[in-house]
Amino acid sequence: MLVSKTDYILYRECPKNTWMKVHQPDIYYAEELSSFEKHIIETGNEVEAEARKIFDDGILIEGRGEEAQKMTEKLLAEKKATLFQPVFIKDGFMAAVDILKYDADTDSYRIYEIKASNEADKNRHYYDLAFQVNLLRRCGLNVAVASIMHLNPEYVRSGALDLNELFKSDDITAEINALQEEVAAEMEQAKAYLAAEAEPAGPCCCIYKGRSNHCTTFSHSNGHVPKYGVHDITRIGLSKKKLKALIDSEVFHLHEVPDDFELSDAQRNQVDAYKMDTVLMHKGQIGEELEKLAYPLYFIDYETFPSAIPLFDGFSPYQQIPFQFSLYTQDAPGGELKHSEFLYEQQADPSGAFAAAMQEMIGPKGSVIVWSKKFECTINKQIAERVPEAKAFLDDVNARVYDLMDAFSKQHYVHKDFKGSTSIKKVLPVMAPELSYKELAIREGGAAASSWIKLVGTALTPPEKEKLKEDMLAYCKMDTWAMVRILQELEKVIK
């Protein structure tokens, strides 16, 4: 058995989870990766490929096994200047290095770890690099410099990509050297722990953490914990004392939470709605919310793509590219609902066309209804920076934005099936059960975002693009129709 650098980093986060990965992969990998997780992997590969372009003398070593190791040894013996993904295996440890550069003057090496993030993470990235340095030194290499190369959030593209500006290289040799003793000891501990045939005994410490922290094997190790229970109370992961008190009292189900147990309003409402199997409604406050709306109503939803590598002028790493919106317009109470939409289909900055389409479809008066306004308002501000002629219009839209989520986040309407969430994906099935994202080919924002790159790329045939376009339009339309239906249901409540 070999302990890879990925295993080591996972081990540092949770030994037991890593043991499951190594010994019970069927349980560890039981859940398919989400489109968000797949996107993170694709982004990592894309950023690494871009970083390699800085080194024009690099040789890529394919694979991870013995052959790759032998090829690495051969190229090292030939003193090749730069290697991409050289593979090192020694003493039961294995790593493929992102970039290894040989310095003939000092007969030493510089190692680079590429990260698709805007900064280096001292906990994860430093230990990742320290593992590699340890292994390379075990293999007899003189590693003189250790660097993390990550994206530069200050970079704003102007013309051709400037790779030397897009990437920042942090020389952290001193920090990595200082970690060597600790990392060497941990590597041995990880090797011994992961070599054990029997599943590690003892409790799973995530029992004291909120659901979002649980790994895929939590249910396997904690069969007594219900699928929906105290770990799912909203923001309970941030209220460590509360969760600990519940767990230590062996309270796992929501119906067991004592009525006098101290919780925030949102937490108490979630628990009470579940225990009483009822809807908590404050008609007066819902009415006050809806009085803020002015006709005509514009229900709008954006789709954007956060490209790690800035694709167009004026964009920084991970800045959102707004490429699509859907809009329902209603001129008067009970009036007809008109639908319009925008989808940019060229591989260019959509900002100007996006703002122009909005200006054409949104009049000078009335409320602009969104779900979670921070997102749309931020996008509007960023578009205004790139399209100054649309600034006055976009500022005015932001001043007229009404966040329909407020009725729910302010706790005026709480249903047990929201499960403590105010996401439209949780609220819609309760408020308008006839609507469902399940029937759609695209069901969530992450998939919609990455669809645009496929739509404007060259890999799809025209019929495939046409189908993808239909799916993208259907998803965005559903997000706006969902807001229409939720507002209609709130209006029924106050009648």
Under the criterion CB under 6 A, does residue 205 sit at the interface with ligand SF4?
yes
Binders of ligand SF4 among residues 217 to 236 (CB under 6 A) are 217-218, 221
Q: Which is nearer to ligand SF4, 21 or 419 (CB)?
A: 21
Q: Is the dihedral of CA 437, 441, 447, 448 positive or negative?
A: negative
Cβ-proximal residues to 232 (8 Å cutoff; 6+ apart), any chain: 210, 211, 254, 419, 420
Q: Which range touches ligand SF4 (CB under 6 A), out of 53-61, 153-161, 214-222, 354-362? A: 214-222
Q: Which range touches ligand SF4 (CB under 6 A), out of 83-91, 216-224, 276-284, 478-486? A: 216-224
Q: Which range touches ligand SF4 (CB under 6 A), out of 12-20, 32-40, 99-107, 169-177? A: 12-20
Q: Which is nearer to ligand SF4, 212 or 436 (CB)?
A: 212
Binding footprint of ligand SF4, residue count (CB under 6 A): 11
Q: Which is nearer to ligand SF4, 17 or 304 (CB)?
A: 17
Q: Which is nearer to ligand SF4, 215 or 271 (CB)?
A: 215
Residue of 215, 230, 405, 431 interacting with ligand SF4 (CB under 6 A): 215
Closest distance between ligand SF4 and the C-beta of residue 223, in Å? 12
Burial 145-165 (b: 16+ CB within 10 A, else e): bbbbbbbbeebebeeeeeeee
CB atoms within 10 A of CB 106: 11
Q: Which range touches ligand SF4 (CB under 6 A), out of 213-221, 248-256, 348-356, 404-412? A: 213-221
Closest distance between ligand SF4 and the C-beta of residue 215, in Å? 3
Q: What angle do CA 282, 287, 292 make, to 5 degrees?
A: 135
CB atoms within 10 A of CB 472: 25
Under the criterion CB under 6 A, does residue 22 sit at the interface with ligand SF4?
no
Under the criterion CB under 6 A, does residue 214 sit at the interface with ligand SF4?
yes
Cβ-proximal residues to 152 (8 Å cutoff; 6+ apart), any chain: 118, 165, 166, 167, 168, 317
Residue of 3, 8, 11, 16 interacting with ligand SF4 (CB under 6 A): 16
Q: Which range touches ligand SF4 (CB under 6 A), out of 182-190, 204-212, 291-299, 448-456? A: 204-212
Under the criterion CB under 6 A, does residue 14 sit at the interface with ligand SF4?
yes
Under the criterion CB under 6 A, does residue 17 sit at the interface with ligand SF4?
yes
What is residue 57's three-state secondary structure? Answer: coil
Closest distance between ligand SF4 and the C-beta of residue 219, in Å? 9
Question: What whole-number distance in Å separates Cα of residue 170 and Cα of residue 342?
Answer: 42
CB atoms within 10 A of CB 140: 8
Closest distance between ligand SF4 and the C-beta of residue 164, in Å? 39
Q: What angle do CA 311, 316, 319 make, to 5 degrees?
A: 85
Question: What whole-number distance in Å separates Cα of residue 90 and Cα of residue 131?
Answer: 12
Q: How far apart are the first and last CA of the chain?
A: 67
CB closest to ligand SF4, residue no: 206
Q: Which is nearer to ligand SF4, 14 or 279 (CB)?
A: 14
Under the criterion CB under 6 A, does residue 206 sit at the interface with ligand SF4?
yes
DSSP letter, residue 422: -
Q: Which is nearer to ligand SF4, 97 or 204 (CB)?
A: 204
Question: What whole-number distance in Å separates Cα of residue 139 and Cα of residue 207?
Answer: 40
Q: Which range touches ligand SF4 (CB under 6 A), out of 44-52, 94-102, 215-223, 232-240? A: 215-223
Binders of ligand SF4 among residues 353 to 372 (CB under 6 A) are none
Among residues 166, 168, 183, 167, the alpha carbon closest in space to that of 124 is found at 183
H-run or E-run covering 228: none
Which residues of the shown chain bind ligand SF4 in the complex (CB under 6 A)? 14, 16-17, 204-206, 214-215, 217-218, 221
